[in-house]
Amino acid sequence: MFNRIGRVLASAALLATCAMGTAQAEEKVINFGIMSTESSQNLKTIWQPFLDDMSKKTGLKVNATFASDYAGLIQGMRFNKVDVAWLGNKAAMEAVDRSNGEIFAQTSAANGAAGYWSLLIVRKDSPINSVEDMLKNAKTLTFGNGDPNSTSGYLVPGYYVFAKNHVDASTAFKRTLNSSHEVNALSVAKGQLDVATFNTESWDRLAVTQPDKVEQLKVIWKSPLIPADPMVWSKALSDENKAKIREFFASYGDTDEEKTVLKNMQLGKFLKSSDDQLLPIRQLELFKQRTEVAASTTLNAQEKETRLKEIDAGLSKLQQRITELNQKTATSTAG
């Protein structure tokens, strides 16, 4: 009997060892999620040298996973199909809140800018020259909105252009479509859309890949500065692999060859970051919700008061954290 128990325990130990070995082998492959803001082939050409360097320096096989929308990357991380992803701030917020994601680094612009800007664009020959013109003529216009999980394509213009003007972008226009930055810009250039959301990073990229199309566009609105995009990993990654990946991002761009790779990606060196990067984006999301609730005609007075109190409590909590971080920064600078 004891021999039989011993054999069972030995078998269990062997199975556990095999399972651990399989898990470790699987984690030697990192699926790197990239949003297809332009054609996947263009992005593959731009990103592959970086991913090859990442594989070489970390000892991990890095596979590119392209998604046509942010939801695909967020869901991919939730179900352990995406391990690391380059996301916009709003999409990163969703990944952190719903998909076990965590911010560990932040991109920087090749020109040293601390972020980028959301834009509204029209064709250069359009009579629309301002937000006021656009809203006044909305019922005659076809509008290209961004991916609902996009910061610059949806959240930022959704607050500054529409919520603050008490306008619902989904019903204000003759027709509203949601698409990627590149599709929106090219559709405006071709005359298929009258006005669309875009951003300065995508504008600079399109100026390189399709300069003739950029020549046909003009900007009618530019947002306040948006923090640069975060890099997000799944918390499910092992501490060992997180350390390898963090070190790679922290040091990448030190050599001339690496600087060239980043230049082709229109990026500067990566910066250290954390989930606190999302604080101003969370504020913006709540400000947008507050504006919408305050203007609501479907909520009764009690419902409106309750919802506004909840939003204000959330805003207060965010401001406390921002104040705390600012004090820490001031103390460390003074020290």
Dist CA 136 CA 138 (whole Å): 6
Dist CA 235 CA 274 (whole Å): 13
Amino acid at 334: A
User: 2-113+228-275 and 115-226 share one CATH topology?
Assistant: yes
pLDDT digits (tens, 9 = 90+) for 127-151: 999 999 999 999 999 999 999 999 9
Angle at 322 between CA 158 and CA 237, to 5 degrees: 85
**CATH tag, 115-226:** 3.40.190.10
Report residue 2's pLDDT band, with 50, 70 and 90 as the boundaries.
very low
Any residues with CB less than 8 A from the CB of 86 and at least 6 apart, and which? 32, 33, 34, 35, 107, 229, 231
pLDDT digits (tens, 9 = 90+) for 235-293: 999 999 999 999 999 999 999 999 999 999 989 999 999 999 999 999 999 999 998 89
Whose structure tokens read 């999301």? 285
Residue 87 phi, psi (nearest 5): -130, 160
Q: Which two tokens stand for residue 273?
A: 């970051």
- pTM for the whole thing? 0.80
Domain boundaries, the chain: 2-113+228-275, 115-226, 279-334
pLDDT digits (tens, 9 = 90+) for 8-56: 444 444 344 444 444 444 568 999 999 876 666 677 888 999 999 999 9
Residue 8: per-residue pLDDT: 42
The bridge status of strand 175-178 relative to strand 142-145 is parallel
Residue 24: per-residue pLDDT: 42
Instruction: Tell me if the domain spanning 279-334 has CATH number 3.30.460.20.
Output: no
Report residue 326's pLDDT band, with 50, 70 and 90 as the boundaries.
confident
Residue 36: per-residue pLDDT: 79
Give CATH superfamily name and number for 2-113+228-275: Periplasmic binding protein-like II (3.40.190.10)
Report residue 112's pLDDT band, with 50, 70 and 90 as the boundaries.
confident
Residue 45: per-residue pLDDT: 87
Dist CA 125 CA 129 (whole Å): 10
The count of other CB atoms within 10 Å of the CB of residue 26 is 9
Q: Averaged over 89-103, what is the pLDDT?
A: 97
285: nearest Cα among 88, 120, 122: 88
Q: Averaged over 199-205, what is the pLDDT?
A: 93
* Helices of type H across 106-149: 131-136
Report residue 335's pLDDT band, with 50, 70 and 90 as the boundaries.
low
Calculate helix-pair angle for 200-209, 181-189, nearest 10 degrees: 60
Query: Does pLDDT of 224 surpass 50?
Result: yes
- The chain-wide mean pLDDT, for the chain, equals 90
Calculate helix-pair angle for 70-78, 89-98, nearest 10 degrees: 20
